Amino acid sequence: MMKSVMLLVPNGIIPLAVAWGAWRRKAWAPEGHVVVGVVLIGWIVVELLMIDYHWLQAAYLGLGVVILGNGNLAVEAGGGRLTSHRLTGPNGAAEHVVPTEDVR
């Protein structure tokens, strides 16, 4: 039972939650993809150390690298929670934004 939970959480529930977050356009989804990619790569590396090689391990290792790379690109492009709330000017310096009222 415990082995099943150890497989289900990192390779089932977390990726499903991140996919749901991406579908709902949640701000944390890009960082979630980075986490899923790192977890998948780590899982396969440990698996390779423990059992004999199978070609599917290489496929899933490649999938982990693709997920990690796409998540990293999304975070760097400003799609992630860590970057989307920063307000920067054209030269990259932080700007202070004062809310204005609609006066009519």
Give the angle subtended at the CA of 65 by the CAs of 44 and 59, to the nearest 5°: 55
Instruction: Establish if 88 belongs to a structural domain.
Output: no
Q: What is the rounded distance in angstroms from the CA atom of residue 104 to the CA atom of residue 101? A: 9
Instruction: Establish if 47 belongs to a structural domain.
Output: yes
Dump pLDDT digits (tens) for 27-48. 999 999 999 999 999 999 999 9
Residue 55 pLDDT > 80: yes
In total, how many domains does the chain have? 1
Instruction: Establish if 80 belongs to a structural domain.
Output: no
- Decide: helix, strand or coil at residue 88: strand
Instruction: Establish if 101 belongs to a structural domain.
Output: no
Q: Which of 14-28, 45-59, 90-104 has the lowest mean pLDDT?
A: 90-104
For 74, the token pair is 């999304």
Instruction: Establish if 54 belongs to a structural domain.
Output: yes
C-alpha distance across the termini of the chain, in Å: 66
pTM of the complete model:
0.71
Average pLDDT over residues 78-101: 54
Q: What's the pLDDT score for residue 3?
A: 84
List residues bridging with 88 in a β-sheet: 94
Identify the domain containing residue 71 by its residue range: 26-75
